[in-house]
Amino acid sequence: MAVSGFEGFEKRLELHFFGDIDDDDGNNMLGLRLLDFESLEQVLLAVQCTVVSAVGNPFFDAYVLSESSLFVYPTKIIIKTCGTTQLLKSIPPLIHFANNLGLSLQTCSYTRGNFIFPKSQPFPHTSFQEEVIYIEHNIPNNLCYRKASVMPSKLPSHSWHVFTATLLPPLKSPHHATFTVEVCMTELDRLIARKFFSRDSKTGDLAGRDMTELTGIDTINAGAFICDFAFDPCGYSMNGIDGDRYSTIHVTPEDGFSYASFECVGSVYDDPDDIVEILKKAVRVFMPATVSISTTRCSREVWTKMARALQPLGLKCRSFVMDEFPAAGTISYQTFTAAHRK
């Protein structure tokens, strides 16, 4: 393991807002999508990253960042950043700009795995305790239903850090038809990882497209429109948009601390086999030796099928834990390693 390197494990923040975003005829308006690019740049300046590519559709806008991704819906923002970014510093400006649009914060969710290089992280990410203190200081007091927890595993280098807060008591929380799947993969197959190094000094959108096709990422969800980007000298990010759902992949391919993440959204009305097949395709792209999967608001049927789906890829489930959180509902966390490992 390298003494120091690029931190692949992302920090993820999801904020939900409420307010009147309909016009006089009851037509849905843009809400948070009315935030101009200058405002988003101010938010990202606080985080210490920039936009490198963007795409949108009638449902949401998706931005590939210099360190991961940003998704903006009318009443929801998801921002996910890696490296030594200061993600939580986005909370004050996001709340400020949303308030200017007549929107108020309803729920806040923060998740991350274990950092590979924790001592390289800046404030407020020096520890989970420090992160929780910072969030609680910067969200409104009326988000009074709060919980922070570290979900453990049998792998000492893998645990799942979760903080949620909401202004609604659990029994009055809205029903969510969608669920989120977050996958973290380490020790990528070396031959596959080499495909995410730039060739002939090519970077940007065109090189990103080459990596997408060369690795088979474009087959994970053939119906999605992909916005991809390749970094110099290595690294890759992509956002997929498919109707009102997003997917995203980020790759740090350096040997010794190789990492890839995959995140997508499913619906409780879908055939569970569909999301499981997508997961299997994503993991197969990278053939990692270690995988962790977190699901939020997901049914037992789905996460049990996920565990079985990875067995043919040579991965064995080593631990499973689940917990209940305000606003997020049930979160499950599973870890897998190569079956030949004890």
Tell me which of 49, 82, 227, 317 is the catalytic residue. Answer: 82
Q: How many helices (H) and strands (E) does the chain have?
A: 7, 16
- In angstroms, the CA 157 to CA 174 distance is 35
298 is catalytic: no
Return the SS3 of 314.
Answer: coil
**Does 67 belong to an annotated binding site?**
yes
**Does 254 belong to an annotated binding site?**
yes
Contact by Cβ (8 Å): 335, 291: yes
What amino acid occupies position 228?
D
**Does 131 belong to an annotated binding site?**
no
Tell me which of 16, 49, 66, 68 is the catalytic residue. Answer: 68
Contact by Cβ (8 Å): 142, 106: no
Tell me which of 49, 69, 250, 292 is the catalytic residue. Answer: 250
237 is catalytic: yes
**Does 41 belong to an annotated binding site?**
no
Write down the H helix ranges in the chain.
37-47, 91-100, 128-138, 190-193, 204-215, 272-286, 300-309
- In angstroms, the CA 160 to CA 213 distance is 31
C-alpha distances in angstroms, 70 versus 4, 41, 275, 292?
26, 12, 22, 22
82 is catalytic: yes
Binding-site positions read 6, 67, 231, 254
The set of catalytic residues is 68, 82, 237, 250
Binding residues for substrate: 6, 67, 231, 254
